[in-house]
């Protein structure tokens, strides 16, 4: 896919710093770069007050650079907006599948957020980061018995996805100490996003079919070992439309009313996540505030219309909290020109640290971080270093003339990059730093060659 930036020599990487031109206060999810991004007098990109090329000298390349300020502001905007627009209790929980690591869990918890986890590994990380069990929500469509046991032992809330799980949980706990659960239901709401990341339509592997809900409520009402607190739905990810979330309020309020018919008063309603971010200039997501207002007003009105007590309203954003807060910086290596066809420049990472382009055909922008004012005179395809022709990070990027050793930065890599990273080709996963007011602290160590062998076993029969 071709970049929408014309090959205009007047334009330099600096133009990515310009805000999209809205009058209301922008949310981090509406910007291409982190809130603190600026250009210093060396003509270098700075994030969190740290010079990006210098960070690479200190921590190595490639490097994930996470801007603490952007993540904090996004957390605060979600929290404040829910408090402003919803008269009942509310809770924002971070969908940690976007990037689950100790430092990120600890940072969002400090901002007063709870957490959504989807595996024993994510739950374990959240626990070690000190996130209280009563604001930890355990999702997933195929939790193992061990994972359910772990959830019960920690006392976190379990978002039950299917009958097998419901029945297993009913047997695991006892009436004296019932397990707090929510029920995940497929809302049957269509929205426009990539097929792989749509979850709300009826043909989805997640959640109970709405037709089964009467039977599910009946089962729950007869099992005192289950403390059914509420219902959950999630309609998809990277969504810019507001209507699907407005419709969701009414659909979910109907479920609360249905539960009443089975003697269940549900006190929690979790509307999932899904707000999109700006990866390119043509992406125009609503602000966090606008999204929150839509969700809150929809739930409020739907409950008032049905005379329902206001449930605690929960939302679980991932991408829109952390996506724009991070950039990945790479070093340029080899270059190749296929005459009349295309020029390639290769970086020292690729599909192993950012699998989104090859998985979803996601489009990213790139900046030359060590010469921010240089004119964008070239059309270059930014390739990864993996033995795979499809390992292309960006097709037809606009960049200045490059030399080996140049530092490029790809914005919008905070969500679903490190969390989906791999060791393909035995490439060690990069380090990550948290940048704040001119200080950078390591939050993930770079993998070493020894780390790559950590799980390998050489059987006696092959040794020697």
Considering the complex, what minimum distance in angstroms separates the CB of residue 232 from ligand LLP? 7
Regarding beta strands 136-138 and 157-160, do their DSSP bridges make them parallel or antiparallel, or are they unpaired?
parallel
| Cα–Cα distance measured from residue 317 to residue 371, given in angstroms and rounded to the nearest whole number | 35
DSSP secondary structure, 188-234, as one string: -----S-GGGB-SSSS-SSSB-GGGHHHHHHHHHT-TTEEEEEEE--
Catalytic residue among 191, 228, 303, 387: 387
Considering the complex, what minimum distance in angstroms separates the CB of residue 237 from ligand LLP? 3
- DSSP H or E segment with residue 117: strand 114-117
Query: Would you say 148 or 288 has its CB closer to ligand LLP?
Result: 288
Query: Would you say 356 or 386 has its CB closer to ligand LLP?
Result: 356
Query: Would you say 311 or 318 has its CB closer to ligand LLP?
Result: 318
Query: Would you say 262 or 312 has its CB closer to ligand LLP?
Result: 312
296 in catalytic set: no
Considering the complex, what minimum distance in angstroms separates the CB of residue 76 from ligand LLP? 17
**Phi/psi at 316 (nearest 5 deg)?**
-135, 70
Query: Would you say 139 or 278 has its CB closer to ligand LLP?
Result: 139
Considering the complex, what minimum distance in angstroms separates the CB of residue 288 from ligand LLP? 11
Considering the complex, what minimum distance in angstroms separates the CB of residue 396 from ligand LLP? 22
Considering the complex, what minimum distance in angstroms separates the CB of residue 199 from ligand LLP? 6
| Cα–Cα distance measured from residue 26 to residue 24, given in angstroms and rounded to the nearest whole number | 6
Positions touching ligand LLP (CB under 6 A) are 95, 97-98, 116, 139, 197, 199, 234, 237-238, 272-275, 316-320, 356, 360, 415-416
Tokens representing 134?
């009563």
Query: Would you say 191 or 372 has its CB closer to ligand LLP?
Result: 191
Query: Would you say 100 or 237 has its CB closer to ligand LLP?
Result: 237
Q: Which of 90, 62, 74 is nearest to 30 (CA)?
A: 74
Tokens representing 454?
């950590």
Angle (CA) 66-68-57 rounded to 5° is: 40
CB 209 within 8 A of CB 220: no
**Residue 136 CA, distance from chain mean position:** 16
Considering the complex, what minimum distance in angstroms separates the CB of residue 316 from ligand LLP? 4
Torsion angle of alpha carbons 47, 430, 77, 241, nearest 10°?
110
| Cα–Cα distance measured from residue 13 to residue 185, given in angstroms and rounded to the nearest whole number | 45
* Beta carbons within 8 Å of 311's beta carbon, 6+ residues apart: 88, 230, 256, 266, 267, 268, 269, 299, 303
Q: Which residues are tagged catalytic?
A: 387
């Amino acid at each position: 896919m071709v970049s929408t930036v014309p090959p205009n020599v007047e334009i330099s990487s600096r133009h990515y710093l310009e805000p999209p031109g809205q009058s209301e206060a922008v949310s981090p999810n509406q910007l291409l770069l982190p809130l603190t991004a600026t250009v210093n007098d060396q003509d270098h990109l700075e994030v969190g007050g740290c010079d990006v090329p210098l960070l690479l000298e200190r921590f190595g390349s490639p490097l994930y650079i996470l801007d603490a300020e952007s993540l904090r502001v996004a957390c605060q905007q979600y929290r404040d907006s829910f408090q402003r627009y919803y008269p009942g209790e509310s809770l924002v929980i971070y969908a940690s599948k976007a990037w689950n690591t100790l430092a990120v869990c600890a940072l969002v918890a400090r901002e007063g957020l709870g957490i959504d986890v989807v595996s024993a590994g994510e739950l374990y990380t959240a626990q070690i980061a000190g996130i209280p069990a009563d604001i930890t929500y355990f999702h997933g469509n195929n939790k193992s018995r061990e994972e359910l046991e772990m959830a019960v032992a920690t006392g976190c809330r379990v978002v039950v996805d299917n009958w097998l799980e419901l029945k297993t949980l009913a047997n695991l706990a006892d009436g004296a100490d019932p397990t707090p659960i929510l029920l995940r239901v497929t809302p049957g709401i269509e929205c426009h996003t990539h097929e792989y990341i749509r979850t709300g339509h009826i043909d989805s592997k997640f959640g109970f079919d709405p037709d089964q809900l009467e039977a599910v409520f009946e089962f729950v009402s007869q099992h005192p070992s289950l403390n059914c607190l509420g219902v959950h739905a999630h309609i998809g990810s990277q969504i810019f439309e507001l209507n699907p979330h407005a419709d969701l309020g009414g659909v979910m309020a109907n479920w609360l009313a249905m539960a009443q018919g089975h003697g269940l008063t549900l006190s929690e309603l979790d509307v999932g996540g899904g707000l999109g971010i700006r990866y390119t200039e043509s992406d125009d997501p609503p602000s966090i505030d606008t999204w929150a207002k839509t969700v809150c007003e929809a739930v409020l009105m739907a409950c008032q219309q049905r005379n329902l007590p206001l449930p605690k309203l929960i939302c679980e954003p991932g991408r829109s909290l952390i996506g724009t807060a991070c950039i990945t910086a790479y070093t340029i290596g080899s270059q190749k020109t296929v005459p009349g066809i295309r020029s390639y420049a290769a970086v020292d990472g690729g599909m192993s640290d950012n699998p989104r382009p090859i998985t979803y055909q996601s489009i990213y922008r790139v900046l030359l971080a060590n010469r921010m004012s240089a004119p964008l005179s070239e059309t270059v395809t930014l390739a990864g270093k993996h033995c795979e022709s499809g390992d292309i990070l960006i097709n037809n990027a606009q960049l200045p003339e490059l030399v080996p050793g140049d530092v490029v930065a790809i914005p919008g890599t905070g969500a679903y990059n490190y969390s989906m990273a791999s060791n393909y080709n035995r490439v060690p996963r990069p380090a990550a730093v948290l940048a704040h007011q001119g200080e950078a602290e390591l939050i993930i160590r770079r993998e070493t060659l020894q780390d790559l062998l950590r799980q390998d076993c050489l059987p006696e029969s092959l040794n020697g």
